[in-house]
Amino acid sequence: MITLCEPDNAPCVAEIVNDRGESILIQTDWDWPGVASTFGWVPCQCGQTDGTVDCPHRKASEMIQEAGEWIRDHYGMEVEDPGYFGR
């Protein structure tokens, strides 16, 4: 399992921690949609974007900001690791 955490000593939005205590800092806002999606956020109902490209309904910049806010609202969530720490 991996947990979405608030970084202690970094100006980043998110840190992903696994059950072995290893962690990955999410450094750039372009990574927010992917991370948020891992934990259940959906960029757009149409399914034609991963949140980093425009779709017919939404701008990527708007989805990236929303993903960042979603992450801040969901610290502590746990999901199965989709591959952040390898297998």
Residues in contact with Zn ion by the rule CB under 5 A: 44, 46, 55, 57
In the complex with Zn ion, the residue whose CB is nearer, 62 or 81, is 62
Least Å from the CB of residue 60 to Zn ion = 11
In the complex with Zn ion, the residue whose CB is nearer, 25 or 60, is 60
Least Å from the CB of residue 4 to Zn ion = 24
H helix or E strand, kind and range, residue 79: strand 78-79
In the complex with Zn ion, the residue whose CB is nearer, 5 or 60, is 60
* Bridge partners, 14 (sequence order): 26
Least Å from the CB of residue 45 to Zn ion = 7
If you ran DSSP here, which 8-state letter would residue 64 be given?
A: H
- Distance between CA 14 and CA 24 in Å, rounded? 9
Q: In this structure, what are the phi and psi dihedrals at residue 24, rounded to the nearest 5 degrees?
A: -130, 125
